[in-house]
Every structure is written in C-alpha cells, then in structure tokens.
A and B are shown apart, each in its own frame.
Chain A
C-alpha cells in the first residue's frame, strides 16, 4: 500500500493545509514551515495510523549534518555515510540531499514515504 495519501493527510491536518499543497517533492520544514512540535505530532500520527515503529531521528533526517561532520572527521565518503545512516533513502535521493544542503533543511515528504515503505518491507 502506498503510504503517501495517508502521510499527505496527516501533514495537512497537523499543519492546517490543503492536501493539494503537498506533493512528494514538498519540503516539510523549508516550505511547509513545520516546527519541532509539529514533527513530533507527525511522527506520532504515522506511528498510529500506519502501524509502524517510528524513530524520530531517522524519520526526520535530524542528524544529517552530524553524520556528514563525522564522515569528514573520519575521512569517509559523505555519500556512503548518509546511505549507511538512512538506508531507506535511494542513492539518487541521497545525492540530491548532498547537493541541496546549503538551501536549508532537506526533509521532503518523499522521505517520510520512503521511511514508511521501508518499514513495511522490513516487516514483510
């Protein structure tokens, strides 16, 4: 089952938006202006409505810069470091994140979808 419609509905309810304003490419923090308390609620809602376990740090890509700083310190490839930390993201998506970092928080709706889908695959 594609979790995108449910996730879009969750975001619309919590952020008081029209569902038409939300696509997979929408930035959750940069564009939708989600704050910390909103992210907490979004995680809880995904946990309850999708029946998945939620690790907020992974779901919301909270440690991207920490992971990159650690990779730099240890002279490791940043792409590999992010892929290892966030196995639910595709390589193309990780490449895009690396190119997109300077513009602000990178989290997009498609990342939430990928997390939910990977959980389903792990369970299956």
Chain B
C-alpha cells in the first residue's frame, strides 16, 4: 500500500526524543520536511548528533515558558502536521507533591501546551488543513503509583486534542491521541532497567521503530478518518487484569 501526504511540513514537539528522531528519518524518506523542537541544550545536542542540518533550524520551545518569540520561530514555516512528543517526567506521590511542582507541572503541560496548540491550529486554519498527533500514554488511564501528575496531564491533553478535532474538523483540522504502553526508550527504558523487567515483559514492549512507523501512518492521508479519538498501542499491556 502506498501512503500519501497532502501536507509538506511536520513540526515535532520533543523532537530530540528517540521516537521523534526515528520519525524524522521516516518523514524525510517520504519527502516531508521535519522541524524538531528542543527544550534543552542536551536535546539540541541529540538532534545535532542525528541530523546536523536540522539542528540549526531547531526552535527552542519549552512548555514551561512559551514566549511569542518561541512560537513565531516554531511557526516560521507553515506547519501541516504537529507531532506532540513533549512531556517532562515528574514522578511523585500526589500526597507528597509540593505546591510549586503541582502548579508548574500543569501550567506547563496543560496551559503551556494549549498555548502552542492554539497558535498552531490558527496557522492551520488559514490553510484549512492540519493534522495533530498527540503521543499519549497508557498512564492516562492506568497510572502507576507516582505517575499521578503525568497521567492526569496526559488525560487532560487527550481531551484538548479531541476538542480541537471536534471544533475544527469542518475546517480540515483533524487530531488524534495515540496511547503508547511500554516503549523501550526514555522513561520506559529506565523502568525496564531499574526494575529488571526486560525478561518478563519482553512481549509487552513497543519498539521505537514500531512507534515511529505507526505515527507515520497516522499522519498519512489514509489515516485522516482516525480523528477526535484516542487509540492504544501497547502490545496488550493493559488488556489483562494482572501482569
């Protein structure tokens, strides 16, 4: 099956993540332009390490401090696709979370994110096409102890994406959240190594390549009817009662 893309440019929030970098390669193979945002010097260095030519144009965009200048830089080119991989981890028991952490986490991951989404969708509206793809997590509905802030922010974000799709669908903007389960990268990789669970969870791991390829398909014209909803890709991790 050939897949097609009516848009040309993809903005990847959290572009320095393993999935973001893998997706970038796939987008380039399809002839699309990828713009990768970073939120730290380390992130920029990772982008430079994999795609030296993209590092120069990588906008600095941090949900915790979204400025007009940062938005203007990220939207310098017309963006057809937004892939939202940006999410800081902050593990704490809710009853132990500080007021500062609570305020900062939701301000960044809900309000800050919404500000970015508003700017991006207004840009898409002018051209009557846009595709928003939020990489969510099974923690949105099945958080582990300590993932209260993370899971709640993910679930709130799923709601935002659903509403964007609902409100702007008639103007060519679609949106979808993809809940990934245990990915062998980032916090998933740290969990597997820390808890020594690689062997017993081997069949429940989603690889970075699988995640990136699925995201590519979900961006394609053939997947545009997947909108206004949330789907799960977790190798069956959350389908059973006990693990």
Q: Which residues of A come within 8 Å of B, CB atoms?
A: 37, 40-41, 44-45, 47-48
Contacts and interface: CB of A to CB of B under 8 A. Distances in A.
13 contacts: A37-B167, A37-B168, A37-B170, A37-B171, A40-B125, A41-B125, A41-B171, A44-B122, A44-B125, A44-B126, A45-B126, A47-B122, A48-B126
Contacts of A48: 126
A47 B118 CA distance: 14
A17 to B, nearest CB: 18
* Majority secondary structure of chain A interface residues (helix, strand, loop or mixed): helix
Interface magnitude class on chain B = under 10
Given A37-B167, A41-B125, A48-B126, 10 more contacts: A37-B168, A37-B170, A37-B171, A40-B125, A41-B171, A44-B122, A44-B125, A44-B126, A45-B126, A47-B122
Interface string B121-144: 010011000000000000000000
Contacts of B122: 44, 47
Contacts of A37: 167-168, 170-171
Contacts of A44: 122, 125-126
Interface string B93-136: 00000000000000000000000000000100110000000000
Nearest to B170: A37
Contacts of B170: 37
Nearest to B68: A53
